[in-house]
């Protein structure tokens, strides 16, 4: 069956529409323009510039060539629009200033001392005071200093308190908290220090060592000097001395903005001749150390509780005071040695 004239006429019209499309020029010289060619180009190209320009014509001229880039004038027009300050939302600039650390002075930390007290605190002996529960302390740091050892000791309800204050001068140069931490890390050396009693050196501590933990009391050596300052640390110590035998301490180290705090307490009972004279957690020593302008400030508050009949039987007040003095002497000498090591002085 032959097609009718109407069908032939429709086929002719379709052929006439297809022929121009077959010979039309493509919009790009090299066929399709792949996105990879744009990113492979060494020149800067921004799709945001092209898409956001309202005046760009879909038939805008694209120069053919090795790089297939837009004309320079077209880029300038888009860049002016895209990088216009009005295009972006404006936010206020946030400036964070980090305060510079400034070493405090001894007078700034303890401003209420008399001339005589200050002279004693900066001497080799130091300033010390013994007082009973209910009595007022002699050494009160600046309320704004952030130092409050006395209240922490009083939380344990001690019957006897001892406070000490001294400044260890720098030996040639300042030492920092890491050097202080390393100086006081040699626990084995405590046994080498004495206190002056009745005109002679009295070595009350015969052994001193670290132990593994409260439950494992095996002696372990002191660690090598640390390269980084820990934020906090807990250690366990065994002290053997003439009158009390072995007693065990837990030491907690914490770092603050200006200084370092050592807290030591007995985690077992202290006994004399198998008689418990002091319960666990009732003997507390808190030592605060801070590099100040004049040297290393050492501020110590210790407290212990013993019933009155125990005190009358053994008269242990001076004995415990001597032990605290030995610990302070160990700290002072360790700090001086650390300062000498830092400067190379022998």
Cα distance between residue 219 and residue 101, in whole Å: 39
Which residue carries 């990879």 as its tokens? Answer: 36
- Closest Cα partner for 285 from 240, 260, 250, 336? 250
Residues 207 and 118 in one domain: yes
18 backbone dihedrals φ, ψ, rounded to 5°: -80, -35
170: tokens are: 């720098």
Give the CATH number for residue 132.
Answer: 3.30.530.20
Any idea which of 132-141, 146-155, 251-260, 336-345 has the lowest mean pLDDT?
336-345
Same domain for 259 and 128: yes
Q: Report the first-to-last Cα separation within the chain, whole angstroms.
A: 123
Kindly state whether residue 287 falls inside one of the protein's structural domains. yes
Note whether residue 75 is domain-resident: yes
pLDDT over 90 percentage in the chain: 43
- Assess if residue 3 is contained within a domain: no
CA distances from 177 to 81, 105, 266, 298, 331 (A): 56, 16, 26, 13, 14
The answer to whether residues 149 and 208 belong to one domain is yes
Q: Kindly state whether residue 318 falls inside one of the protein's structural domains.
A: yes
The reply to whether 336 falls in a domain is yes
Last residue of a domain, one of 96, 119, 149: 96
> What tens digit of pLDDT does each residue of 296-308 get?
999 999 999 888 7
Is 197 a member of any domain? yes
Average pLDDT over residues 40-60: 45
Sequence-ordered alpha helix ranges (H) in the chain: 5-22, 35-40, 47-52, 72-82, 106-109, 115-121, 149-154, 177-183, 308-314, 317-343
State the Cα torsion 250-255-261-265 to the nearest 10°: -20
pLDDT at 10 > cutoff 90: no
Range 282-287 average pLDDT = 94
Residue 78 scores a pLDDT above 60: no
Which pLDDT band, with edges at 50, 70 and 90, does 239 fall under? very high
pLDDT of residue 102: 81
The answer to whether residue 4 scores a pLDDT higher than 90 is no
Residues 80 and 142 in one domain: no
Q: What is the pLDDT of residue 42?
A: 46
Residues 59 and 137 in one domain: no
pLDDT at 254 over 70: yes
Tokens 């890491």: give the residue.
178
Q: Which of 128, 180, 173 is nearest to 289 (CA)?
A: 180
**Co-location of 118 and 86 in the same domain:** no
Q: Judge if 183 and 235 occupy the same domain.
A: yes
Could you say which of 96, 121, 139 is where a domain stops? 96
65 and 125 both lie in a single domain: no
With b for 16 or more beta-carbon neighbours within 10 A and e for fewer, the 54-92 pattern comes to eeeeeeeeeeeeeebbbeeebbebbeebeeeeeeeeeee
Shared domain check, 176 and 248? yes
**268 touches 280 (CB < 8 A):** yes
Q: Last residue of some domain: 46, 67, 96?
A: 96
Average pLDDT of the chain is: 77
- How many distinct structural domains can be found in the chain? 2
Domain limits for position 47: 31-96
Predicted local confidence at residue 345, as pLDDT? 43
Residues 81 and 229 in one domain: no
Question: Of the ranges 70-84, 160-174, 226-240, 259-273, which one carries the lowest mean pLDDT score?
Answer: 70-84
The alpha carbons of the chain give a radius of gyration, in whole angstroms, of: 41
Whether 173 maps to a domain, the answer reads yes
Provide the pLDDT for residue 50: 41
- The mean per-residue pLDDT over the stretch 312-317 comes to 69
In a domain, 239, yes or no: yes
Look at 271 and 60; give whichever has higher pLDDT: 271
Same domain, yes or no: 136 and 86: no
Whether residue 92 sits in one domain with residue 112: no
């Amino acid at each position: 069956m032959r097609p009718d004239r109407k069908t032939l006429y429709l086929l002719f019209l379709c052929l006439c529409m297809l022929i121009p499309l077959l010979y039309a020029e493509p919009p790009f010289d090299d066929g399709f323009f792949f996105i990879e060619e744009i990113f492979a180009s060494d020149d800067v190209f921004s799709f945001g510039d092209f898409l956001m320009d309202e005046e760009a014509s879909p038939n805008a001229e694209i120069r053919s060539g090795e790089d297939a880039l837009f004309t320079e004038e077209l880029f300038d027009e888009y860049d002016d629009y895209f990088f216009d300050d009005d295009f972006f939302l404006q936010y206020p600039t946030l400036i964070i200033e980090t305060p510079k650390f400034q070493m405090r002075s001894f007078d700034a930390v303890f401003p209420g001392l008399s001339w005589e007290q200050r002279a004693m605190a900066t001497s080799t002996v130091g300033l010390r005071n013994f007082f009973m529960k209910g009595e007022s302390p002699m050494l009160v740091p600046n309320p704004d200093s952030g130092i409050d050892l006395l209240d922490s000791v009083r939380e344990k309800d001690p019957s006897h308190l001892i406070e000490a204050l001294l400044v260890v001068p720098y030996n040639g140069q300042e030492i920092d908290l890491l050097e202080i931490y390393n100086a006081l890390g040699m626990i084995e050396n405590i046994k080498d220090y004495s206190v002056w009693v009745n005109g002679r050196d009295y070595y009350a501590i015969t052994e001193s060592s670290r132990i593994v933990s409260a439950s494992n009391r095996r002696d372990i050596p002191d660690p090598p000097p640390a390269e980084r300052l820990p934020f906090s640390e807990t250690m366990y110590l065994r002290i053997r001395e003439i009158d009390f035998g072995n007693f065990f301490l837990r030491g907690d180290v914490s770092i603050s903005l200006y200084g370092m705090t050592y807290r030591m307490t007995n985690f077992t009972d202290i006994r004399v001749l198998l008689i418990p004279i002091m319960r666990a957690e009732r003997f507390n020593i808190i030592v605060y150390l801070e590099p100040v302008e004049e040297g290393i400030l050492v501020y110590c508050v210790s407290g212990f509780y013993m019933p009155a009949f125990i005190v009358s039987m053994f008269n242990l007040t001076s004995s415990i005071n001597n032990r605290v003095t030995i610990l302070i002497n160990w700290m002072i000498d360790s700090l001086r040695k650390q300062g000498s090591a830092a400067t190379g002085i022998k």
